[in-house]
A and B are shown apart, each in its own frame.
Chain A
């Protein structure tokens, strides 16, 4: 039982992510989380203004059920299956974050400096979350997938476009982490 309550190492987690993807394939579906954003837009009536959202979104209901499960899983995982919320990031990462002004890096899943109610009541932090979310929503759909659809499913299926997309993920991620975030903090 102790093993379950401790953080799961990569060599346990990684194969289990493959299991999630393969289960969905065996259920006749596919592993792709960002499609749900398109489905939700379509349900909200976006098909009236853009043909991209005119599709049979009812056929995507199963994927929204996966999302619902993921929310429940997040609750179960964080409330019942976790000894402590610390994230065991490396010492050099902690040091870099401290230099940027983060108080206690890794003491919680998310940095309060970005996600606490105090933080998001400040216009600058709020804008960072809005811009971050917007770029995720825009970029994943433009690229045709995210970490699940391109990095895990696409690379597992030896898809060259997915490799190109993952290279893109890193171009953007490296720019943000090394050049933009240090300007923001």
Chain B
């Protein structure tokens, strides 16, 4: 039962990705051509409201459902890996048209060829795990 809330958030997230059209390869292509405000509006308004929400959580020391004070860990200050890894992800995002949330959602919409993309993404993550110590971070 404790997983029901996560299942609900997931279902809502999946519906939202479909209804916002952010799962569409076409929307990603359009975004990288700067031909519509749509994706920028989505990410921008999510970040503005998210930032307000996180600021309020910090200001009022809000606790999570289990009563533990919320502490959001800072991202590791690895700028080299952020820019190189980010660029590698960007290449794949614009090619496959799906980032790691939408690829699962698309399987739900019936796009079975996404299973190939997911399989390849697992392989990519595995390859990173193998090479991690040799890569600059």
Contact = CB atoms under 8 A, between A and B. Distances in A.
* A is bound by B: yes
Given A14-B43, A72-B14, A155-B51, A136 B96 contact: yes
Interface in B102-136: 103-114, 116-130, 132, 135
A contacts with B: majority SS: helix
Contact of B23 (A66, A109, A135, A143): A109
A50 B124 CA distance: 14
A161 B77 contact: yes
A146 B104 CA distance: 14
Nearest to B45: A14
B63 to A, nearest CB: 9
Interface in A1-30: 4, 7-30
Interface of B: 3, 5-33, 35-51, 53-54, 57, 62, 64-66, 68, 70, 72, 74-79, 81-101, 103-114, 116-130, 132, 135
Contacts of B51: 155-158
14 contacts: A7-B19, A14-B43, A15-B45, A50-B129, A52-B132, A65-B3, A93-B26, A93-B36, A135-B92, A137-B121, A156-B54, A168-B87, A170-B32, A176-B32
A69 B121 contact: no
Contact of A75 (B20, B22, B40, B109): B109
A77 B17 contact: yes
Contact of B6 (A7, A22, A40, A65): A65
Interface in A27-43: 27-30, 33-34, 36-38, 40-41
B121 A134 contact: yes
A138 interface: yes
Contacts of B30: 89-90, 93
- Residue of A132, A142, A162 with most partner-chain B CB within 10 A: A142
B76 A161 contact: yes
B42 to A, nearest CB: 4
Contacts of B110: 75, 78
Given A21-B46, A131-B95, A168-B87, A37 B106 contact: no
What are the 9 tightest A-B residue pairs by CB atom distance, in nearest-first order? A69-B10, A73-B14, A168-B86, A172-B90, A74-B108, A137-B124, A142-B85, A135-B92, A133-B120
A14 B6 contact: no
A10 B42 contact: yes
A52 B129 contact: yes
A68 B10 contact: yes
A106 B104 CA distance: 20
B85 A139 contact: yes
Contacts of A46: 126, 129
Contacts of A156: 46-47, 50-51, 53-54
A78 B68 CA distance: 37
Contact of B20 (A4, A10, A165, A167): A10
Nearest to A158: B51
B23 to A, nearest CB: 6
Contact of A82 (B18, B38, B74): B18
